[in-house]
Structure 1
C-alpha cells in the first residue's frame, strides 16, 4: 500500500504470490485493498476475492450530552508507525487558545513518550490526555464529539468503524480504505497540521453537527455491523467450499 517502504512492498507481493497457489479465494476488508490485489497480480480469475468490510457491534451506553462545554476529540491507535498522533497534537496549536477543545488519545506504544514530550513542549498539557490501553474504545467514544485517525497508511481501521457505531463525525487521513467510511459524515484530510485544525474547527462551529452524527450512524448500520460481516463471511466460505 502507498506509504509502505518499497522493499517491504516487494517482499509482501512475493509472499502473497507464492501463497496464492495454496489459496482458494481472498477476503479484502476494503475496495482499496481489492484494487491493490488486482493491480499487483495477486487477485486473479483463478484466485478471486470479495470485499467484506470490517464490522463491529455497537455498544449501548449513555451518550455525551451535546451541550457540555468541552468538545472532545478521540483517537484510538497504537503509538507506533504508521499512526501519526504527533500531527494531531501539532494541529491543536493552530486552534484559538480559548476554544474548549480537548484531545483524548487511547492506546500505548513506543512513540507515546515522544508524544507526551511534544505535548509539554507545545504547552498543550491542559488540552491533551493520554489514557493508555483501554478495555472498551466505544465507551470512550460515547463521551466524545469526533473520532480522529491520522495515519500514513491504512486498510480499513476498526477504530473508525467503532467511531461510526457511536455516531461520531470522522476526521481522518485520506489513505487506504478510509474514504469508504465517509459519506457526509466527516472529512478526509492530508497529513497537514493546518488542514487538520481547519476541519476540527469546522465541526466545532457546525450548526448541523447532529445531522453529521446521524449520517455516521447510518453509514455504520448500512455497511459495518458485525452481523453483516459475519453473514457475508459465512456465505463466501460456503460458496468456496461448494
Structure 2
C-alpha cells in the first residue's frame, strides 16, 4: 500500500472505522503523515489516564504544551483547521512537538524508506519530517486507546527508560534547564500539590489531583536511574 502505520500492541482503536477515517485524511495530497487523538478507556489505570492526558510528569514539565497534541494550538501556528484534523507549523517555535511513532502514526510509504532501520524509533522519523517541512495532521476526530501503564511497578520501570531517551539531543537550552529544575520542583511536593489543586479547580479534571504524587515518584525514579547508570559506568571504567 501507499501508507504505513506503526501501532504498538498496547494501542487499540475503539471505533471500527477508525483506520479508514485516518486514511481518508490522506485524500489531501499535501499531508505526509497523520496521527490520532490519544484517549483512555474507562477501565484503564489511573497511571494510564494521567499519561494519556499530560504524558509523564518529567516530560510534561520539560515540553509544556508541546507534550500533548490537545495543546499544540497553544504552542504552534495553525496552518489548517478542519472538522476532523489540524495541521500545525511545527517550525513556528524552536521546541519540537512530542509525537509518538508507535501510537498510530501513519505516513506515506516513500517518506519512511530512508529510515526503515529506525522504523520503531519514536524520534528520528518524525523529526526528519518536521525538518523537511512536511505536513503532519493531528486527526482529533479519531481516538486511540493507549494502555500504557498497568500499575505502580510498571510506571517506575518505564520512567527509568526516559533517562536514556534520544529526545534530549533535540531540546532547546530552556528545556535543558527545565530538566534540572524538575527535580527540586517535584521533590518539594508543596509546589506540585498547589498546582494540582489550582488546576483541578480551574479545569475540574480530577487527574490533576494525582499530579503531585506522580511527579514525586517520577523524580525519585529518574534520580535512581541516573545513579545506577553512573555507578555502572564507574565500575566499567575501573575494570
State the TM-score bracket (shorter-chain normalisation).
Answer: under 0.3
Higher relative contact order (CA 8 A, sep 6+): 2
Structure number with higher helix proportion: 2
